[in-house]
Amino acid sequence: MGQNTNGKADKATLRGELLEARRRLTADDAQEAAAVLARRALELEELADADTVAAYVSIGREPGTRALLDTLHARGVRVLLPVLLSDNDLDWAVFEGPEQLVRARRGLLEPRGERLGPDAVLEADAVLLPGLAVDGRGMRLGRGGGSYDRVLARLSHARVEPPLVVLLYDNEVVARVPEEPHDHPVQAVVTPSGVRRFTA
Tens-place pLDDT, residues 107-150: 889 999 899 999 999 999 999 999 999 999 999 998 878 899 89
- Is 77 a domain residue? yes
Q: Which residues lie closer than 8 Å to 24 by C-beta, 6 or more apart?
A: none
- Is 45 a domain residue? yes
- Is 76 a domain residue? yes
Which carries the bigger pLDDT value, residue 2 or residue 27? Answer: 27
- Is 120 a domain residue? yes
CB 10 within 8 A of CB 1: yes
CATH number at residue 179: 3.40.50.10420
- Is 24 a domain residue? yes
Tens-place pLDDT, residues 53-99: 999 999 989 999 999 999 999 999 999 999 999 999 999 999 999 99
CA dist 11 and 29 (Å) reads 26
Strand pairing report for 78-84 and 90-94? antiparallel
